[in-house]
Structure formats: C-alpha cells, structure tokens
Amino acid sequence: MIRLEKRPQPSQAWSMATPLVAVLATMLFGGLLFGLLGTNPFLAIETIFWEPLFGEFAFYYRPQLLVKGAPLVLIAIGLSLGFRAGIWNIGAEGQYIIGSLTGAGVGLAFYPLEAWYIFPLMVIAGAFGGWAWATIPAILKVRFGTNEILVSLMLVYVAEQFLASMSLGLLKNPEGFGFPGSRNLQQYASAHNAEIVTGTGMHWGVVAALIAVIFAYVLLNRHMLGFQIRLTGAAPRAARFSGVRPARLILMCLGISGALAGLAGLFEVAGPAGQVSIDFNVGYGFTAIIVAFLGRLHPVGILLAGALMALTYIGGEIAQGQLGLPAAAIQVFQGMLLFFLLALDLLTNYRVAWRKPEVA
C-alpha cells in the first residue's frame, strides 16, 4: 500500500529541490504535449529554452528577457509579501491595468508639454492607482470580513472594462482616425519610459524591479514589519498574541502589492507597449503568481524565477513563429509549471510510505 505520512518537520531538501524538479517535469510533460500536437518535442523544448539565449538571433532576444522579466518580478515581489502573511491577492492583473491607466492618464493630460517632471508624476500616479485598486478588497476584508481572493479576482474584470472604456473614450487618440487606443507614448519624450542604455532592454521598470528585490529582502530579514509578516504566515495566533494588528497588516500588504503592480503597468504602457489599448494587458498579473511560488516567495528566488518565466515567454513566441505551435499550448506549458510546483510541494510536508497490507 502507498500512503502519505506527515513529516515531523518540513523537509528543507525537498523545499529547495521542488522548483528544479517542477521545471524538469514541466519540460517532460510539455514535450509530450508538443508531440501530441505534431511537433518534435525535443526541438520545441530546445527552441523555448535555448534559442533566446544562444540561438542565431540571441543578440535581439536577450534584451527582451529584461523587458518581459521586469514586470513579472515587480508584481511577484508585491504578491510574495502578502502570500507570506497568508493574505491572498489574486487580482494583481487588475491593479496592473489601473496603474497603467492612471499613469498614462497623467502623462496624456500634459500633452504636448515637454517637461522633466511629467514622467515622475506618471510613476507616482501609477503606483497610486494600483494601491487604490488593491485597497478595495483590503478594506472590505477588514470591515466586513469578505474573502480577498474573490474580491480581488472579480475586480480584474472590472478593470478590464475600464481599460476598454478608456481606450474607446477618455484616453482615445483624437488624431487616431477613429481607432481605439491612446496616443503613442513612445513618441512623447517626457512620458516615454525609454531604454537607459540603448539596445540592452534596461529601462526604469527593470531598475524598479531590482530595487524592489533589495527592498523586499531587507524588509523580510532586517525589519520588524518583515518579522510580523513571516510570523503571521507561520503562526497567526502567535502573531496576535505578540501584538500584530491583522487589519493593519492586511491593508499594508495588499497596498504594497497593488502599488508595485501599478508601477509595473505604468512602466509597461510608457515603454514596451507604448499606448493604452483594449488588449494592453497580457496576463502578467496572473503569471506573476507562478513566479512568486516558483521563487519560493524569496526575493532572490523570485528574481531567478522571473528570468525563467521571461525565457518561456520569448522562447514560446519563437516556437509559435518557427514551429507553428499555438499560443494556447505555450500558456498550458507555463501553467504546468505551477501545477507541478504545487503538486510536488506536497512532498515537503509529507513523505511516501510503502507498507504491506495487514492480514486480518
């Protein structure tokens, strides 16, 4: 008989090995999926993980890893703070959208003025927009005891309606010949999140992501708030007895995660995306959940996991173009990573025991 027995203490070895095993399992079963779709599985895996780094056009794809990875890391850092405390913000996609709208709105309000202070104001507005949107489920949870998972998730769909409305209405380009979407911020120097070093993919969103990693590491390991976050996640009752205020922690964790998601939206709309459009959001807020757990909710781990997930984004786009793989297959491939990570996480707290059935 095969049974699962609870370990006396969580296995540190399995905790460290789970992300690597999950990646290998994803490559194995992802290859089987690609094979069923009529594509050489070995070629598909090689294309996804090798081509962006060492392929013929790697000089073009490598900077894109920073472009794709920065918003994932920025959002995942914010989510990890709440997840560590048992506060589940699943609506970062909505906060990402609202941050992009408020930040772009401020920039477009100054058009065509050229001034140094416009982009900093956009950054503040983007962070504020994401913070305000995340504060809604926080206040509802503190005041009425609602479930932050459901409220934050439902607000994503509200944010998507706002995005469509703004693209067709208030932020619509008056010189766009009736097409939905705002002015191109890449052509408005004061509102453009341009590359700091041309050709490297390094823009202010990448800098903000690196600062967020450092900030989160210091916060969790050197600050009282970080201790309260870790204590609340590990032992909620002990946290209450030690003087932690749950309401304050909820407001703070959701607010920080929302602000970082809003910043990611602002840096994206003012940089790589260039404009507010109906299909502006590409799922970074949801993918960041995978990044947070793949990085074991540790800032440095999240940085590495964000790079890996960015690699699957770039490699997936290459595989779609060269091998004809559907976009849905790449999304399933990325989803497998979270599935195997959560499934194998079971072995951190449980072990497989083999026992012979007892004879009556």
Domains of the chain: 38-325 (1.10.3470)
Confidence band of 357 (pLDDT split at 50, 70, 90):
low
The rounded distance, in Å, linking the Cα atoms of 351 and 248 is 37
pLDDT (tens digit, 9 = 90+) per residue, 108-147? 999 999 999 999 999 999 999 999 999 999 999 999 999 9
pTM for the structure as a whole: 0.93
Contact 109, 90 (CB under 8 A): no
Segment 94-104 shows an average pLDDT of 97
Q: Check whether 218 has a pLDDT greater than 80.
A: yes
Contact 123, 103 (CB under 8 A): yes
The rounded distance, in Å, linking the Cα atoms of 104 and 167 is 11
Q: Check whether 37 has a pLDDT greater than 80.
A: yes
SS3 content of the chain, % helix, strand, coil (to 5): 70, 5, 25
Q: Check whether 47 has a pLDDT greater than 90.
A: yes
pLDDT of residue 358: 64
Collapsing DSSP to helix, strand or coil, 46 comes out as helix
Contact 92, 261 (CB under 8 A): yes
Using a pLDDT cut of 70, give the percent of the chain over it. Answer: 98
pLDDT of residue 344: 86
Its sign, for the CA torsion 74, 76, 82, 84, is: negative
pLDDT (tens digit, 9 = 90+) per residue, 221-262? 999 999 999 999 888 888 888 888 989 999 999 999 999 999
* Average pLDDT for the chain: 92
Q: Check whether 9 has a pLDDT greater than 70.
A: yes
Q: Which residue, 258, 265, 106, 267, is CA-closest to 202? A: 267
- Count CB atoms within 10 A of the CB of residue 211: 12
Angle of helix 118-144 relative to helix 148-168, nearest 10 degrees, comes to 140
pLDDT (tens digit, 9 = 90+) per residue, 280-322? 888 899 999 999 999 999 999 999 999 999 999 999 999 999 9
